[in-house]
Structures are given as structure tokens and as C-alpha cells.
Amino acid sequence: MRKKKPSERKTNKLDQSLIVHAAIDIIQEEGIDKLTMRRLAQKLNIKGASLYWHVQDKNELLSLAAEEICQRIQFPDERLPWEEQLLEFGRRCRNTYLQIRNSVHVLVATPPITPYRMHLIHKINRLFELAGFKKEDVFSAGWMLNNYICSFILDEYRLADMESDVGVPDLEREFYFGIDVLIKGFRYKLQEGRTKL
Amino acid sequence: MRKKKPSERKTNKLDQSLIVHAAIDIIQEEGIDKLTMRRLAQKLNIKGASLYWHVQDKNELLSLAAEEICQRIQFPDERLPWEEQLLEFGRRCRNTYLQIRNSVHVLVATPPITPYRMHLIHKINRLFELAGFKKEDVFSAGWMLNNYICSFILDEYRLADMESDVGVPDLEREFYFGIDVLIKGFRYKLQEGRTKL
DNA sequence: ACCTGAACACCGTTCAAGT
DNA sequence: ACCTGAACACCGTTCAAGT
């Protein structure tokens, strides 16, 4: 995307937002493999090559989509105890990731360097800092949490497809089991750090 | 792959193993994106189309590679306490995943339905059963462990690339921090289950 | 039994040319 | 300012044809 003069920016923003939403729709309904520049253009009644006026390349498109998806995740009330914030954050992530089917595929395919995604990371880090984690562990803990949530939901997409097998577990229960394992593990680490002092 | 008479099997097995090893070499040295049927054929001094005599399609090739990779992971001594088995298992996974660079990309791209991979899953499940986990939690715990290890190593590949930033953390330490969080979280769940009885 | 050339139906991306 | 047709350099895969 070339830079725009302020006067152009509004319509352009609308165009980009339109494109991004169309892309998310395709991902949601047909899966990420089906999101091709030509298919997306078709949905917008233009030709594939035209997209490159609005967007630098497919990577930028995916990054915009990822940012859009994350913006639906509100960070919980920071006055709650950190355990409850974590639980609530997990719940909210899962909600939007399930609401926008296959959205996690977009997140793992793009680097978390867009504004709102970085904001969420910052909030999580602050949560662990305030909880009392050592500097080095703050990063690890946030990383673990994000990886747990994303990889769980990715598997949840797959398992939800094949409901044929009776052996499909209660995925909601499984999810919170894992969140709780993390919380209890983190709490242990916190106490371990304290008793050392 | 069509079925082979026993007399043919030996040479064929060798061919397939040759192909799979060449594929792993490409993944290791050039990344999984560079593994194309044509590039692989080139490395074997044949043409792309020829590969389809030895292998059904690219998916089968990746599954064979995944199985090959997993066979390098030995399950630890089962007489150790379950915490130590888990720690050792994590260490061994990380070793082979780092030794064969980008191997985790192969694992996450293929379903874990080949013999040795299922064997490893079975071993992990048995570990959690013997440790005293409830039936439903055995599955969740093994799942968490695998997802943690894989997503960590995937990020480790990326971070190890950009050593430019001084901010790259001590990845070995980070890894065992996470394993320990899981172990301590699991232990809590175990006690929780016991006190309820 | 094993390999090949040529083709098919796709990709992402570029770019001169249109309006 | 925005869109297009045509092309480029790729994919995975198939298949008749060679040896």
C-alpha cells in the first residue's frame, strides 16, 4: 500500500476493511486453504490483480485479518485476581476463535506485530508482572498461555468436524482443564519464587 | 503405493526410505516450504512425476517423514517417577526436534496415526494413567504436553534465526520452565482428584 | 518394474494498458 | 484513482508412452 493523503484515506480504509471482512468470511466458511487472491477478488466482483492496489501482498492481507480478529477480544477487568483474569481471558479468546471459525489459522500464520495484538500481549505481560513473576518468567508464561489457547482451538476445529466418532470428548471441559493446569502451575512457580527470597 | 509382493518389498523399502531421508534433508536445510515434489525429485536425480510411483502423494510422503522423525524419540524408563519421565520425555523430544531442524513442521502437518507415533501417544497416556489421573484427564494432559512441546519448538526455530536482537531469551531455560509449569499443574490436578475421593 | 514429457488445473505476483 | 488481461514462475498430480 502506498501512502495516502488524508482526503483519500477514508474511502480507502473502507475498501480495505471490506476486503479484510470478505477474506475473513471465506476463511470462516471455506477454510484458509480456500482463501486465494483470485477467490477473494471474485467475492468482491473484481479480478485478482486488482487486489494488489489495495494491499501489498497476501501476507499483509492476513496480518490485517489477524488484527481485525484480535480486536474482538477484550481484556478482562484488571482489578480481578490474576487467576480470574487469566481464566476470563481464555474464555474470551475461545469465544471469538470459535465464533470466527478457522481464525486461529490466521493468527499462527502472521507475526504478532500489529497494534492491538501487541496491546494484548502487553496486557498479559503486565498481568504476570503484577502477579509477582520474575522478569524472565513473565515472557515464558504469556507465551505458554497463548500457545496453549491457540493449539487447543486448532485441534478443536478438527475434532468438531468429525463428530462421527462417539469418542469426541467434552471440549469445553478439556479447555478449562488445561487453563486450570496452567494457572495452578503458574501459582506454584510464584510461590517457589517467593520462598527463595 | 500399490501393494508389493514380498520379493519386491526389500528394494522398494529402500527406495522409499531413500526418498523420505532426502525429503527430511531438504526440510532441514531449506525449510518445509522448499520441499516440493520437483525439488525432491531433482535431489534424487529423477523427475517429479516419478515420485508418484513410490509414494501415493505428498501427504503420504510427509506422514512417512513424520514417522521417521518420531522413531528417533525413545520413551524414557518407565520405572522412574512420572514427573521425571515427563521431564526426560520433553528433553528427548526437544533434542531430536532441534537436531532435525523444522521437523516439527512435519509433525503438525500430519495426523498422528502412524504406528510409532501412536505408540508414543499410548506410552504417554499410560504414564498419566499410572500416575493416577482420571480417565478423562489422561487425554487432556497428553494433549497439552504435546502441544506445549511442539509450539515451543516451532517458536524456537523462529527465534533462533534472528539472533540479531539481544533480547533473545535463554530458550533452554524457557523450555524447562514450561515443562515444570505443566508438571506442577498436573500434580495439583492429581491431588485435587485425590482429596475429593 | 520403473521412469519420462507433456499436460491440467491451480497458485501469488507483476505490469503495461485501459477508464 | 482504480481496474484489467496477459503473462511469469511456480505448485501437486495424472497419464499415456517409453525402456
Higher-confidence residue of B31 and A1: namely B31
Taking the CA of residue A102 and the C1' sugar atom of nucleotide C6, their distance in angstroms comes to 38
Cα distance from A188 to chain B (closest Cα, Å)?
Answer: 7
For residue B149, give the C-alpha cell. 512441546
Selecting from A136, A147, A184 the residue whose C-beta is nearest the C-beta of B185 gives A184
Mean pLDDT calculated for residue range B43-51: 97
Higher-confidence residue of B8 and B64: namely B64
Cα–Cα dist B34/B90, whole Å: 28
Domains in chain A, start-ordered, CATH in brackets?
A: 6-55 (1.10.10.60), 74-195 (1.10.357.10)
Cα distance from A139 to chain B (closest Cα, Å)?
Answer: 9
Residues with CB under 7 A from strand C: A 35-39, 48-49, 52, 57-59; B 8, 11-12, 15, 41, 46-50, 53-54
Sorted by sequence, the CB contacts under 8 Å of residue B145 that are 6+ apart come out as B86, B89, B90, B124, B182
**What pLDDT score does B193 carry?**
78
The answer, for A83 touching chain B at a CB cutoff of 8 Å, is: no
For residue B71, give the C-alpha cell. 522413531
Cα–Cα dist A182/A41, whole Å: 43
For residue A194, give the C-alpha cell. 517467593
Q: Are A63 and A107 in contact (CB under 8 A)?
A: no
Taking the CA of residue B26 and the C1' sugar atom of nucleotide C1, their distance in angstroms comes to 27
Cα–Cα dist B7/B36, whole Å: 31
Taking the CA of residue B53 and the C1' sugar atom of nucleotide C4, their distance in angstroms comes to 12
Selecting from A152, A169, A186 the residue whose C-beta is nearest the C-beta of B181 gives A186
B180 with A183: Cβ contact below 8 A? no
The angle formed by the CA atoms of residues A130, A152 and B178, to the nearest 5 degrees, is 45
For residue B95, give the C-alpha cell. 533434542
The answer, for A148 touching chain B at a CB cutoff of 8 Å, is: yes
For residue A154, give the C-alpha cell. 486448532
**What pLDDT score does B1 carry?**
38
Residue ranges, chain A, pLDDT below 50: 1-10
- The contacts found for B20-27 with CB under 8 angstroms, 24 or more apart, are B20/B61, B20/B64, B20/B65, B20/B68, B21/B68, B23/B61, B23/B62, B23/B65, B24/B65, B24/B68, B24/B69, B24/B100, B24/B103, B24/B106, B27/B65, B27/B100, B27/B101, B27/B102, B27/B103, B27/B105, B27/B106
**What pLDDT score does A193 carry?**
78
Q: What is the mean pLDDT of chain B?
A: 91
Cα–Cα dist B43/B52, whole Å: 15
Percent of chain B with pLDDT over 90: 81
Query: What pLDDT, in 10s, does the model give residues B158-173?
Result: 988 776 666 777 899 9
Query: Count of CB atoms within 10 A of residue A178's CB?
Result: 23
Query: What pLDDT, in 10s, does the model give residues B100-117?
Result: 999 999 999 999 999 999
For residue B179, give the C-alpha cell. 515443562
Residues with CB under 7 A from strand D: A 8, 11-12, 15, 41, 46-50, 53-54; B 35-39, 48-49, 52, 57-59
Cα–Cα dist A193/A133, whole Å: 8
Please report which confidence band the pLDDT of residue B197 belongs to, taking 50, 70 and 90 as the band edges: low
Sorted by sequence, the CB contacts under 8 Å of residue B103 that are 6+ apart come out as B24, B27, B28, B69, B96, B97
The answer, for A185 touching chain B at a CB cutoff of 8 Å, is: yes
Please report which confidence band the pLDDT of residue B40 belongs to, taking 50, 70 and 90 as the band edges: very high
- SS3 (DSSP) at B112: coil
**What pLDDT score does A39 carry?**
98
| φ, ψ for residue B60, nearest 5 deg | -65, -40
Mean pLDDT calculated for residue range B63-67: 98
**What pLDDT score does B154 carry?**
96
Closest chain B residue by Cα to residue A190:
B181
Q: Are B171 and B160 in contact (CB under 8 A)?
A: yes
CA distances to A75, A174, B69, B131 from B135, in Å:
34, 12, 29, 11
The answer, for A157 touching chain B at a CB cutoff of 8 Å, is: no
Cα–Cα dist B193/B139, whole Å: 15
Q: Residue written as cell 486448532? A: A154
The angle formed by the CA atoms of residues A52, A28 and A20, to the nearest 5 degrees, is 30
Cα–Cα dist B153/B92, whole Å: 12
- Burial of B117-129, coded b for 16+ CB within 10 Å and e otherwise, reads beebbeebbebbe
Taking the CA of residue B40 and the C1' sugar atom of nucleotide D14, their distance in angstroms comes to 18
CA distances to A86, B23, B72, B75 from B66, in Å:
34, 11, 10, 17
A177 with B139: Cβ contact below 8 A? no
**What pLDDT score does A160 carry?**
84
Check whether B196 has a pLDDT greater than 70.
no
